Structure formats: C-alpha cells, structure tokens
Amino acid sequence: MKRILIVEDEQNLARFIELELKHEDYDVDIEYDGENGLNRALDEDYNLILLDLMLPKTNGLEVCRRIRRTKETPIIIITAKDDTYDKVVGLDYGADDYIVKPFDIEELLARIRAIMRRHGENISVPTNQIAIDNLIIDKDAFEVRIDNQNLDLTKTEYDLLLLLAENKNHVLQREQILSHVWGFDTEVETNVVDVYIRYLRNKLRPFEKNKLIETVRGVGYVVRA
C-alpha cells in the first residue's frame, strides 16, 4: 500500500483529503504544522507528500527545502496562494507539482496518480517496514514507532505485535499465537497471550488513532487495517 503524508493546518480540509485518499486505498498520515510534518517526512518513508505553504512553526517552503536536502519523495504543494512568484519558488525549492485551493478532489487524485506513475518503483516504501495507521514496525531495526515516537517494548511484546501486524485482518487463535511467539514446545498456559495483549494495549493506548488490537470473543485476536 502506498503511503502519503498530508501536512496541512486546516484540519477539516486535511481530514477530507485523508478520507478521499483512503477510499483510493492509500495509507495516510496527517501533521498539522510544519515542524512535526518535517520531522515525520524525514524520519519515515512516504511515496508522496501533500504540503501546504502557510503552516505554523515552520513554513511550507522551508519544509520542502529541508526535505530535498536528503530525500527525493515527491511533493505536491497545496495552497491558497495563486500568484506566479509563489509557484515558481515552490517548484524551485523542489516541489514536483502545485495545486491551488479551492480545488476539485478529482484533479488532486489525478495529479497524485500521474506522479506515482512517473516515479514508479523509485518511491516504493521499503518492504522491511509494516505501516498500520500511525504505527510503523521497522523489522531491520527491531523498532516500533507510533506518531514518530519509539515505543518501548520487550522482545515478547515486539514479537507478538509483529505477528499480529504481519497477519492483519486475519484472526489468530490463542494457540497459534502461543506457538509462534513462545514456541511449539512451550508449557505456559494460553492465558499468557491475554496478559501480553493487555501489556501491548496499555502501551499503545496513549498514541493509537483507532483501537489497533481487537478481541474476537472465544477465538483470539486480530489487527484491523
């Protein structure tokens, strides 16, 4: 699934674009100011960034310029500023395209598709990462990040979350989880799975947008995405 970052301080507009993009099967993150948007763009891998110019904390042009120092992620500037100078500066700072508010959502989607086609595999997200909502599992680094913050997990908690994430939308029985995480010859009871699910939920709860781990009564657990 291709990942898009929206950096836009108009929350209603950002949420509207998010809904439309998710309907088109994109994985979407949102930041509402330039500072957090820049940090997220640099720390994570996206297929495309939608960037407003008039942002609090750090303006969009500066965000664009600093992203371009280290990354080639395609950037579409979204702004109410319609004069030629701003368009030229935005493109000179490294943006790939420019669309003026108010715009037709179908035009924005078409521009996104065009950029995706042009860049093709050059902007694919590494397969050693799993992205679900605002959570990233980096399998090479054995790290879990949520809202750009590292989550402090034990090895067992990490293994449990990774198993659920790799099998997202598939219900795993407690016995399956037990054998994969604790080993086939383990002598521990299946209720240890419930205990560690509770540990995970307690650590995820302050950050997660939606409840990540669901209980399927009488069966086991599932991560929906």
Whole-prediction pTM: 0.56
Q: Label residue 221 by pLDDT band (50, 70, 90).
A: very high
Q: Is the pLDDT score of 126 beyond 60? A: no
The DSSP code for 76 is E
Q: Is the pLDDT score of 184 beyond 70? A: no
Q: Label residue 186 by pLDDT band (50, 70, 90).
A: low
Q: Please give the Cα distance from 193 to 59 (Å, whole number).
A: 46
**Residue range 97-109, pLDDT digits in tens:** 999 998 899 999 9
Q: Label residue 120 by pLDDT band (50, 70, 90).
A: low
The DSSP code for 53 is S
**Residue range 33-64, pLDDT digits in tens:** 999 999 999 888 899 999 999 999 999 999 99
Which residue would you say has higher pLDDT here, 133 or 120? 133
End-to-end CA distance of the chain: 11
The mean pLDDT value of the chain amounts to 87
Paired tokens of 171: 């219900």
**Residue range 56-82, pLDDT digits in tens:** 999 999 999 899 888 889 999 998 877
pLDDT given at position 200: 95
Which residue would you say has higher pLDDT here, 209 or 58? 58
Which residue would you say has higher pLDDT here, 26 or 122? 26
Q: Label residue 125 by pLDDT band (50, 70, 90).
A: low
3-state secondary structure of 28: strand
CATH fourth-level superfamily of 3-119: Response regulator (3.40.50.2300)
- Ranked by mean pLDDT, the top range of 47-56, 124-133, 145-154, 182-191 is 47-56
Q: Label residue 18 by pLDDT band (50, 70, 90).
A: very high
Q: Is the pLDDT score of 20 beyond 70? A: yes
Would you kindly state where each structural domain of the chain is located, as residue ranges? 3-119, 129-223
Domain 129-223 has CATH 1.10.540.10: no
Q: Please give the Cα distance from 122 to 73 (Å, whole number).
A: 9
The DSSP code for 34 is H
